[in-house]
Amino acid sequence: MSSETLPLEKIRTNPNQPRRTFYQESLEELAASIQERGVLQPIVVRPMNGPNNGFFEIVMGERRFRASKMAGLSHIPAIIKTLTDEEAAADSLLENLQREDMNPIERARAMQSLLQFMSYERVARTLGVSETTIRRALELLELPSVIQQELITRPGAGEGAFNEGHARALLAMNDDVQSQQRLVQKVKQEKLNVNDLDKVVAAIRRYPQKKEAFLRVPVSVTEQILRSLGNREERKKPYRSQTADQHLKAIEKGSQSLGELLDDRIGEFLSAELMNQLLATTADLEREIQNFNTKIREALANKDFGFREVYIHCPLCGRVELIGSLRCSVCWTILRRCYDCGNYDRAYEKCGITGAQVMVSEAENPKEHSKSYKCPMYKPKFEAQAVKLKMAA
């Protein structure tokens, strides 16, 4: 090994060197520094043989070599080493791997070059990384060339970065290059992180018929679509009967929350466009509820012979319930009070149908053992103001 100052005209670049991308702006900055302070660190070269005898090939420092030419230098300090192709490739890769600006594609290509004359184990040992790291790096070379180029290209002004994590997310879509390219642009325009891109890719693969929607809409809307589609799929699965009670409570809670939101004064403060959007939303919900109610009515008719859809008021809290509900779902009060029944004779404190004695105290505050608790002849005196949903025309 020796150190000399070599003429730039006697130096040749290595066509197989790992770094292929040299950004003009970065080279200009380095050239300006060299003009002011000179080349602070010698490049590393090796003697060439055959027709290029007398010339030297760069092992490390091609950026410094290029910037020196831009700076107008005629000579450059260099360390001359006698190296085999294998040694030169390893040294060049090691030097570039230590630089933060080496892109993932260049790194993967360099590893691929080393594997032409080294085993995975030896490459891993030489670079100080695991074999898994090498294999993961090489996966990037399975991407279409246009996607690989996106990893090399710097983002434009106002664009989000497309990095190695994004590229890995697109490996699952190697059979659809056009969609991959659109997803790259989506990452840049919407500045998506890797997790967001994973969600979009997974959505496209799970519901390919909705691909165009997922490519166009924001991630938040994609999540809404997935929830809707997931709910539909969930309904196709066998129902978990052990969760029915919890399901009922969730519906009641959601219904109460929605009811509190239904304040028609909102229309005074919305544009016509937004009111159309609101009505479309509630009309869709109305249709869902109508279909749901139809199924529940059918189930009730099948389970309860003689089912009548009669609504009554809870005497304590005013909740509207079906007559078939024994207790109020809000305050748990017994609903079928003789005192509220059209068949009850208050003067004689007895049932007008059976003649059974029912004291007023019991008629007003029945217990589970009271005659009115499950009385099939109960007749509400007043019609409850229940709203019956109808299918939209």
pLDDT digits (tens, 9 = 90+) for 93-130: 777 665 556 788 988 888 887 888 788 998 888 878 89
pLDDT at 388: 46
Percent of the chain exceeding pLDDT 90 equals 47
Provide the whole-model pTM. 0.58
- Whether residue 341 has pLDDT greater than 70: yes
Say if residue 241 is exposed, middle or buried (CB neighbours under 10 Å; 0-12, 13-18, 19+): exposed
- Whether residue 77 has pLDDT greater than 60: yes
**304-321 mean pLDDT:** 85
- What are the CA-CA distances from residue 4 to residues 43, 55, 74, 85, 295 (Å)? 10, 13, 14, 22, 90
Tokens, residue 385: 């103001």
- Whether residue 208 has pLDDT greater than 60: yes
Confidence of residue 238 (pLDDT cuts 50, 70, 90): confident
Residue with tokens 């299918």: 391
Measured between alpha carbons, how far is 45 from 88 in angstroms, rounded to an integer?
A: 9
Which positions are catalytic? 62
**17-22 mean pLDDT:** 64
**45-70 mean pLDDT:** 88
Say if residue 162 is exposed, middle or buried (CB neighbours under 10 Å; 0-12, 13-18, 19+): buried
Over its C-alpha atoms, the chain yields an Rg (Å, rounded) of 39
Measured between alpha carbons, how far is 41 from 61 in angstroms, rounded to an integer?
A: 9
Percent of the chain exceeding pLDDT 70 equals 94
pLDDT at 391: 37
pLDDT at 392: 37
pLDDT at 21: 65
What is the average pLDDT score of the chain?
Answer: 87
Measured between alpha carbons, how far is 39 from 194 in angstroms, rounded to an integer?
A: 40
- Whether residue 181 has pLDDT greater than 90: yes
Q: Which amino acid is at 62?
A: E
Residue with tokens 């608790």: 373
Handedness of CA 73, 78, 84, 87 (dihedral sign): negative
**248-271 mean pLDDT:** 91
Domain residues of the chain, as ranges?
A: 2-102, 148-230, 308-393
Confidence of residue 278 (pLDDT cuts 50, 70, 90): very high
pLDDT at 24: 77
- What are the CA-CA distances from residue 43 to residues 19, 39, 53, 274 (Å)? 15, 9, 19, 67
- Whether residue 236 has pLDDT greater than 90: no
- Whether residue 144 has pLDDT greater than 60: yes
Q: Which fold has domain 2-102?
A: 3.90.1530
Measured between alpha carbons, how far is 341 from 363 in angstroms, rounded to an integer?
A: 9
